[in-house]
Amino acid sequence: MRKNEKHPGRKSGILCGKRVVYVVAVFETYVNFFRRYPLLLAVGLISLLGTLGFAVIFPTLPLYLSEDLGISAGIIGLIFGAYAASETIFKTPLGFLSDRLGRRPLIIAGLAISFLVPLAMTFVYHYLYFVALQFLNGFAIAAFWPALSALTADKVPAEERTTAMTVFNMSYLVALGLGPALGTFINHALSSHKAAFYAAACLAFGAAVLGFLTLPGVAAGSRRNPEAGDGKEGPGAVLVRAFGSSGRVLGGLSFLWKNRVLAAMLVISLVQQFGAGMLAPIFVLFASRQLGFSQADIGKSLLGPAVVVAVCALPLGRLADNLGKQRAVEAAFLVAAASVLMIPETATVAILICLIGMLGLAYVVGAPAWTAITTLVAPREGRGTAIAAIGTMQSLGFILGSSAGGFLYEHVTPAAPFHACGSLLLTCFFLTLALVSPAVKSAPARRKESGAGGQTKFEEVSGLASGQSVERTGATRGHEDAAGGP
């Protein structure tokens, strides 16, 4: 026997000790990090409270609209689509505005609107008012999130920015996981569909007050466009120019469609989010009406998976690198499709928890891998444009899917959105398998090699995918400028 085989208990103890030392080292790293950048504590709390304020009403709004106001599922889908459309429209111009006016005004304004919207929802009863309020809510999120993210980057040097963004993103993910469960628990405890709206307003108000007291008046990283003159133009003029900048970003899509792999990824992103959007307005309705679960049961089904995903996010992210990014995406699509198709047949809360947990794990594995593939198959000059375009197609898919899901729930069968979503996710799997994975498999590791034009090997593969060689021309640099890339 080998020495380590004679004492397996000793080996296990050593491994356990190493894990404890690792956890302590990570904890100390973040404590020291917050000592150097105390503002990030405030940013993390603002991110947490602001996202909780949005997330607590996300699952409870459909029940309130349907059971208290008698609004149909089709109209509920339209209301959800209004939010997604507004956020998509205003995200880029408001991000541009934060560069001109500073981060703090946009953050406070967005949180103030997020405080007023849920309060206003308790006083109105016609669906058109809810469409308008959700459109305003999307505007608020578009003002708040890009500015807060940019402020995080402004205050931390480039070499430590990844750690800073991890703090920012983790607070967002924790809130996004806990918020829906919290909203359903609050409504169940107080026996009112309006209770979550008041909780959302309190959370947004707390985030706004904290931002007002702690955030700096002018972001250190705020930039001025040298073509803008003396910078004395008003917000209206800045927004007009910001929409012009958005147009240049959209103009870069013509470059993306020339790359066969990226073109396929754009279509897959649209289809995938179209399917996911179908479930947004009707999931809680289906769980309550068709499956007979209480709001407390629904809260449990959302809370458990959120905790599991939070614990498993880091190791599963490493798993994607070990399996291969394309394999991670393929597995994510298959697991998500199977889980969605089984939800209509769920008989117990425990099974629902397992299925939603599988969906969460599929997202944790697949979403980062999908983004990584986007950066790999795009030429270096077009990476920013590619990522922006993927995000735009996902938003568009969610907008269209929200309305389609409500229509299917109301006019076909309540389970139809789940069947349609599962079928679309299977379609995404086969499209990825046929159109995306072969290009990723055949690509060499990304490394610098001397050659004509200083291209990397992967840039050459990207050029072959688009049917032409990659050249560093003024036209390709224009896509980088439009996307705001480095």
| Cβ within 8 Å of residue 435, ≥6 positions away | 260, 261, 264, 268
pLDDT at 474: 34
Judged by average pLDDT, the poorest of 291-300, 313-322, 428-437 is 313-322
Q: Which of 41-45, 459-463, 481-485 has the lowest mean pLDDT?
A: 481-485
Specify the range with the lowest mean pLDDT, choosing from 197-201, 246-250, 426-430. Answer: 246-250
How many Cα atoms within 13 Å fall on the side-chain side of residue 20? Answer: 6
Domain at 37-219+236-250, CATH class: mainly alpha
Domain extent listing, the chain: 37-219+236-250, 252-486
Q: Which stretch of 96-100, 214-218, 364-368, 446-450 has the lowest confidence by average pLDDT? A: 446-450
pLDDT score, position 150: 79
Please determine, for residue 390, whether its predicted confidence score (pLDDT) is greater than 70.
Answer: yes
Instruction: Calculate the average pLDDT of the chain.
Output: 76
Tell me the C-alpha distance between 172 and 162, whole Å.
15
DSSP string across 230-283: TS---HHHHHHHHHHHHHHHHHTHHHHHTSHHHHHHHHHHHHHHHHHHHHTTTH
Q: What is the pLDDT of residue 162?
A: 57
pLDDT of residue 224 exceeding 90 = no
In this predicted structure, what is the pLDDT of residue 169?
67
Look at residue 142 in the predicted model and tell me its pLDDT: 85
3-state secondary structure of 10: helix
Burial label for 194, CB within 10 Å (0-12, 13-18, 19+), is: middle
The percent of residues above 90 in pLDDT, for the chain, comes to: 27
When pLDDT is averaged across residues 151-164 and rounded to a whole number, the result is: 70
Where residue 445 falls among pLDDT bands split at 50, 70, 90?
A: very low
Residue from 262, 278, 285 nearest 436 by CA: 262
CATH topology of domain 252-486: Growth Hormone; Chain: A; (1.20.1250)
pLDDT category, 88, cuts 50, 70, 90?
confident
* pLDDT tens, residue by residue, 319-353: 666 677 888 899 999 999 999 999 999 888 889 88
pLDDT, residue 236, reads: 55
User: For position 11, what pLDDT does the model report?
Assistant: 55
* Residue with more model confidence, 335 or 314: 335
Helix (H) or strand (E) holding 376: helix 349-377
Question: How confident is the model at residue 171, as a pLDDT?
Answer: 78
Highest mean pLDDT among 79-83, 273-277, 370-374: 273-277
Q: Write phi, then psi, for 165 (nearest 5 degrees).
A: -70, -25
Task: Report the alpha-carbon distance of residue 410 to residue 286 in Å, rounded.
Answer: 11
Cα–Cα distance measured from residue 30 to residue 309, given in angstroms and rounded to the nearest whole number: 21
Q: Is the pLDDT at 152 greater than 70, yes or no?
A: yes
**What percent of the chain lies above the pLDDT cut of 70?**
69
Better pLDDT: 421 or 392: 421
Domain 252-486 in the same topology as domain 37-219+236-250: yes
Does pLDDT of 234 surpass 60? Answer: no
Task: Provide the pLDDT confidence category of residue 409 given band limits of 50, 70 and 90.
Answer: very high
399 three-class SS: helix
Higher pLDDT, 302 or 418: 418
CA 129 vs CA 53, 63, 79, 136, 262: distances in Å: 20, 17, 9, 10, 39
Q: Say which range, 28-32, 275-279, 408-412, has the weakest mean pLDDT.
A: 28-32
The tokens for 180 are 């829906």
